[in-house]
């Protein structure tokens, strides 16, 4: 009995071993089919934590940038600015107009008690008196000449004196006109007036001080601050991208969310050999008064409104070898790698000349995350 059971046990054990060996052989010969992986595409699981690092943006056309943003400085518009000094010496006898005041053409800024003006007034009065005497003498000589009491030579000398006196009056009168002083004034006072309308942006005078015409600094600077100038330097290699009348947009640190328009007014005709740059002057309207002379500005040089291009952030681009790539979102979890050609690479943006289309969804952040995921999938396929 026992030998038969033992024989049966070994027979069953042999059969089980054979079946197991056959099964292992079949498994090795026919592995389970895996879903095919498409090169250049990444499929993330709906609950993948990596999706938190990926951001997309819808591509559209925008104005084609021409240059990296430039730096410039806001200054006074010299065509609307006057630096005013006194043409005569004297002492300030009135309270000078305050800094920041609005003035009109001809507004009085201050008054001086001026010896120069007193001398000019005295010269005019003396010239008038001399003219009256010379005229009387000439008239008398004419009468005497007609009565043959004096010679023609004496008459001519009297006439010369009369003409000289008349010229002296004209000279003294012109001097008064030059100082904008009435011929009837005789108080020795001089009113310094503004030649333009604008704002008092600088004042270097106080009551009671003595002023002179050869003073180094102007007494007043008056400017129309609604018309400013933007100064910037263009490197020689970029000069062809700037032209007269070109529209620019600027921003300043004080108002980071606002842009201000400017227009190229003048392009310098001399190259700075040290910096290899050319000075460019631009008109800068300032109707709202937000901009101030002395501010530094960031300047964007753009093409014509009709010149449109796809501009993407550089965070979307990664480079392999000599080629540039981006990822496009096919759907919520599916991304495709795309080669692109960059026409202009700026500091934080790139102008795409080939490879992308309007209304596609670009992966603006997280491209390297997707690239690393693609490499993991590729390596898994090779195994």
User: Is 186 or 259 the better-scoring residue by pLDDT?
Assistant: 259
Between CA 194 and CA 110 the distance in angstroms is 10
What is the predicted pLDDT for the residue at 16?
Answer: 59
pLDDT > 90: percent of the chain: 61
What is the predicted pLDDT for the residue at 131?
Answer: 92
Between CA 313 and CA 349 the distance in angstroms is 4
What is the predicted pLDDT for the residue at 28?
Answer: 46
Per-residue pLDDT tens digits for 27-85: 444 444 444 455 678 888 888 888 888 999 999 998 888 888 899 999 999 999 999 99
Q: Where are the alpha helices (DSSP H) in the chain?
A: 2-29, 115-146, 152-178, 367-382
User: Is 13 or 272 the better-scoring residue by pLDDT?
Assistant: 272
- Whether the per-residue pLDDT at 234 is higher than 70: the answer is yes
Give CA angle at 358 (352, 364), nearest 5°: 65
**Which pLDDT band holds residue 357 (cuts at 50, 70, 90)?**
very high
**Which pLDDT band holds residue 23 (cuts at 50, 70, 90)?**
low
Per-residue pLDDT tens digits for 197-212: 999 999 999 999 999 9
What is the predicted pLDDT for the residue at 86?
Answer: 94
- Whether the per-residue pLDDT at 146 is higher than 90: the answer is no
> Looking at residues 341-355, what average pLDDT do you find?
89
User: Residue 198 carries which DSSP code?
Assistant: E
Considering the chain, what is the average pLDDT of its residues?
Answer: 87
User: Going edge to edge, which strands form the sheet with 108-113?
Assistant: 189-193, 108-113, 90-92, 210-211
What is the predicted pLDDT for the residue at 250?
Answer: 94
DSSP 42-100: EE--TT-GGGGG-EEEE--EEE-B-SPPEEEEEEE-GGGEEEE--SS-EEE-S-PPPTT
What is the predicted pLDDT for the residue at 8?
Answer: 55
> Looking at residues 163-184, what average pLDDT do you find?
90
Give CA angle at 187 (183, 192), nearest 5°: 80
What is the predicted pLDDT for the residue at 381?
Answer: 54
What is the predicted pLDDT for the residue at 204?
Answer: 95
What is the predicted pLDDT for the residue at 12?
Answer: 57
User: Residue 140 carries which DSSP code?
Assistant: H
Per-residue pLDDT tens digits for 261-317: 999 999 999 999 999 999 999 999 999 999 999 999 999 888 888 888 999 999 999
> Looking at residues 328-345, what average pLDDT do you find?
91
- Whether the per-residue pLDDT at 129 is higher than 80: the answer is yes
pLDDT > 70: percent of the chain: 87
Give CA angle at 69 (68, 71), nearest 5°: 130
| Helix H or strand E segment including 148 | none
- Whether the per-residue pLDDT at 89 is higher than 90: the answer is yes
Q: Which domains does the chain have, with CATH numbers?
A: 41-65+307-382 (2.40.420.20), 70-79+224-301 (2.40.30.170), 116-184 (1.10.287.470)
Between CA 300 and CA 277 the distance in angstroms is 17
Q: Which residues of 144-171 are buried (b: 16+ CB within 10 A; e: fewer)?
A: ebeeeebeeeebeebeebbeebeebbee
What is the predicted pLDDT for the residue at 30?
Answer: 46
What is the predicted pLDDT for the residue at 182?
Answer: 85
Structure tokens at 193: 């007036």
In angstroms, the Cα distances linking 362 to 114, 309, 315, 330 are 75, 15, 11, 9
Question: Residues 322, 324, 330, 336: what is their CA dihedral angle, to the nearest 10 degrees?
Answer: 20
> Looking at residues 97-126, what average pLDDT do you find?
93
> Looking at residues 140-165, what average pLDDT do you find?
88
């Amino acid at each position: 009995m026992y030998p038969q059971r033992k024989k049966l046990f070994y027979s069953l054990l042999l059969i089980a071993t054979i079946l197991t060996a056959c099964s292992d052989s079949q498994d090795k010969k026919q592995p389970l089919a895996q879903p095919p992986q498409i090169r250049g595409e990444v499929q993330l699981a709906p609950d993948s934590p990596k999706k938190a690092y990926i951001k997309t943006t819808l591509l559209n056309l925008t104005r084609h940038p021409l240059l990296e943003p430039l730096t410039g400085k806001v200054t006074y518009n010299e065509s609307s600015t006057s630096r005013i000094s006194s043409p005569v010496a004297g002492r300030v006898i009135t309270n000078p107009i305050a800094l920041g005041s609005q003035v009109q053409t001809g507004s009085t800024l201050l008054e001086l008690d001026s010896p120069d003006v007193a001398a000019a007034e005295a010269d005019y009065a003396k010239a008038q008196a001399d003219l009256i005497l010379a005229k009387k003498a000439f008239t008398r000589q004419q009468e005497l000449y007609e009565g043959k009491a004096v010679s023609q030579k004496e008459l001519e000398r009297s006439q010369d004196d009369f003409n000289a006196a008349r010229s002296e009056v004209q000279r003294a009168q012109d001097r008064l006109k030059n100082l904008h002083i009435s011929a009837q004034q005789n108080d020795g006072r001089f009113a310094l007036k503004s030649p333009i309308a604008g704002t008092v942006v600088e004042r270097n005078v106080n009551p009671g001080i003595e002023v002179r015409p050869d003073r180094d600094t102007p007494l007043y600077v008056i400017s129309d601050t609604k018309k400013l100038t933007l100064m910037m330097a263009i490197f020689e290699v970029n000069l062809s991208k700037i032209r007269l009348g070109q529209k620019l947009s600027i921003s300043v640190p004080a108002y980071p969310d606002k842009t201000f328009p400017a227009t190229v007014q003048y392009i310098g005709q001399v190259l700075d050999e040290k910096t290899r740059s050319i000075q460019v002057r631009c008109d800068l309207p300032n109707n709202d008064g937000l901009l101030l002379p002395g501010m530094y500005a960031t300047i964007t040089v753009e093409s014509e409104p009709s010149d449109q291009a796809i501009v993407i952030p550089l965070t979307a681009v990664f480079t392999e070898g000599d080629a540039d790539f981006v990822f496009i979102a096919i759907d919520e979890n599916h991304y495709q790698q795309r080669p692109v050609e960059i026409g202009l690479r700026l500091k934080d943006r790139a102008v795409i000349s080939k490879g992308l289309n309007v209304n596609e969804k670009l992966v603006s952040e997280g491209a390297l995350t997707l690239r690393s995921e693609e490499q993991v999938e590729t390596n898994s396929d090779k195994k």
